Chains A and B, each alone.
Chain A
């Protein structure tokens, strides 16, 4: 059991309103990712769920019971911190055992559970080491081990991968996803990295300035963003936005097209531009194109061997079926023009 509901939750630090008002419903077993630029209140929201921050007003329910004033220790939630927050004076074994010790579980059962967790996380050989003697990835695994060992009703992750190098980040991402499939426990994951959000989540909550912009599955957000912010935030490279005459053709204030929904040609097309930097990724190539209809450079995802190079003239054609239209408030228009 691990359902979590926030009802009309607000949070202010002194006079600064960080979260104006938030309502979220998280079902048991869901993998939910809170994503947004730094300072958008996603970590504060997680800390409110954890009980490390009080709400200014509103109700936090865990398993359908009011937990608003419950101390963190009594919420049966486990948290993995960005800094790992391992106990430096304890061995890995004792770190993992700590929650069990606090729950007064007997020694034999403790050892059994530690062995199981260590096996799952490949930590068996490191149980007697101190955190200082471990690599970043291993420390992260110990932090996860400490969280899963007491079988909480939900896991909270606060940007757990941001201190790891790129290769390790991809690896740990997979491990966490796999863990979720294996355990089936509710997970709430905070990140500023939309790739982590897209790859791991069942449900993404996009936040900006303490306000929920959109909630949905990764593909929902990608295919049907409800406003310009979400459209620009989700997807990499980010969506291209065009205003003015090009947008008016589609009866909109602004139109957005993802880099993969633009086709290129040396001879003909809707838009004319000049090729800037060409980024070869191997499988794909990203072309940065200066275009007279767009203030910013447009990015096009093209085949690896497209033949264009810096300074070439290029014609672009937008894929009409995949154009997103926005009104002058940046809100998406969905009815057909």
Chain B
């Protein structure tokens, strides 16, 4: 019996590994290409694997465009929009979870429905608004647009976390003399920390990877890493090695952050599923 189950285990592991490898192959291939010369990168797979390794692409990319500038833009935009959104979303989610009105459910659905709208449908009005208010190619502009884009999801996530908190405890705080501000600050927020932090992490990732608005509303000054990658696919032809190097440089930070916060993220996303 034991032998069979061990064999089964080995088989399962093998299948899982193969599937994992299959799914992460594009990323692995990008990683490999980023260490090759431009000529080797377009060769056949065998040539790619056997050719010599080099850091040339990274240094060319860094020389041609200022990686650190784009990196700091990404950091500012994703953190800025996330914190701004949380500042708006925590009170909103509080209101919807604890003092729901007749229209609360409808408002929640309406907010979610805005996510179904194809962004390109509102690109022109938003572009014009940005132009008129001088927000084009500014970090402030991107913080505002990404806050608005992700707000519905943040409110929804926080709303579901807040729903799990017993109302009694908030009422106890009110009886103990807490005003609305103290109730949210000292009781609700600390109790919702797991939920809030996973919302925060997810939202940083979403904002970091957002490409449509960041590419369309920036030129150079405020361009984050997404725009930086895009700049390597040009009409003159694709430069695989440089494109790969740029991609690796763009995804590495968020991948590392995601790796470290994995536990928190999973806990947050399954919060309430298991009691």
Contact between chains at B191 and A98 (CB < 8 Å): no
Chain B 180-200 interface 0/1 with A at a Cβ cutoff of 8 Å (1 = within): 001000110011010000000
> Main SS of the interface on chain B?
helix
Question: Please, which residues of chain A bring their CB within 8 A of the CB of B179?
Answer: 71, 73
**What total of A-B pairs shows CB separation below 8 Å?**
61
Question: Please, which residues of chain B bring their CB within 8 A of the CB of A77?
Answer: 175
A89 to B186, CA, bound (A): 10
Question: Please, which residues of chain B bring their CB within 8 A of the CB of A72?
Answer: 171, 174-175
Is there a chain B Cβ closer than 8 Å to A1's Cβ? no
Question: Please, which residues of chain A bring their CB within 8 A of the CB of B178?
Answer: 73, 98, 102
Most buried by B among A50, A78, A83, A98: A98
Is there a chain A Cβ closer than 8 Å to B153's Cβ? no
Contact of B187 among A71, A87, A150 (CB under 8 A): A87
Contact between chains at A87 and B169 (CB < 8 Å): yes
Is there a chain B Cβ closer than 8 Å to A52's Cβ? yes
The tally of residues in B whose CB lies under 8 Å from a CB in A reads: 18
Tell me the nearest residue of chain B to A156, going by C-beta: B175
Contact between chains at A85 and B177 (CB < 8 Å): no
A77 to B172, CA, bound (A): 11
Contact between chains at B174 and A81 (CB < 8 Å): no
Chain A 66-94 interface 0/1 with B at a Cβ cutoff of 8 Å (1 = within): 00000111000111011101111100000
A156 to B172, CA, bound (A): 11
Chain A interface size, under 10 / 10 to 19 / 20 to 34 / 35 or more = 20 to 34
Q: A83-B166, A85-B168, A87-B169 are in contact. Are A150 and B190 (CB under 8 A)?
A: no
Contact of A85 among B166, B182, B190 (CB under 8 A): B166
Contact between chains at A98 and B174 (CB < 8 Å): no
Question: Please, which residues of chain B bring their CB within 8 A of the CB of A156?
Answer: 175
Is there a chain B Cβ closer than 8 Å to A103's Cβ? yes
Chain B 155-177 interface 0/1 with A at a Cβ cutoff of 8 Å (1 = within): 00000000000101101111111
Tell me the nearest residue of chain A to B174, going by C-beta: A72
A99 to B191, CA, bound (A): 18
Contact of B177 among A86, A89, A102 (CB under 8 A): A102
Q: How far is the CB of B182 from chain A (nearest CB, A)?
A: 6
Is there a chain B Cβ closer than 8 Å to A146's Cβ? yes
Question: Please, which residues of chain A bring their CB within 8 A of the CB of B176?
Answer: 73, 78, 98-99, 102, 146, 150
A83 to B167, CA, bound (A): 10
Contact between chains at B175 and A50 (CB < 8 Å): yes
Tell me the nearest residue of chain A to B171, going by C-beta: A52
A82 to B257, CA, bound (A): 43
A89 to B187, CA, bound (A): 8
Question: Please, which residues of chain B bring their CB within 8 A of the CB of A86?
Answer: 169, 172
Tell me the nearest residue of chain A to B182, going by C-beta: A102
A88 to B186, CA, bound (A): 12
Q: A89-B190, A89-B191, A102-B182 are in contact. Are A78 and B169 (CB under 8 A)?
A: no
Task: List, sorted by A's number, 14 A–B pairs whose CB atoms are closer than 8 Å.
Answer: A50-B175, A52-B171, A71-B174, A72-B175, A73-B174, A78-B176, A83-B168, A85-B171, A86-B169, A87-B172, A87-B173, A102-B177, A102-B178, A150-B176
Q: List 10 A-B pairs, minimum CB-CB distance, nearest first.
A: A102-B177, A85-B172, A85-B168, A99-B176, A72-B174, A79-B175, A89-B190, A73-B177, A85-B169, A83-B168
Binding site for A on B (CB under 8 A): 166, 168-169, 171-179, 182, 186-187, 190-191, 193
Known: A79-B175, A87-B169. 16 other contacts (CB 8 A): A52-B174, A71-B174, A72-B171, A72-B174, A72-B175, A73-B175, A73-B176, A78-B176, A85-B168, A86-B169, A88-B169, A99-B177, A102-B177, A102-B178, A103-B177, A150-B177
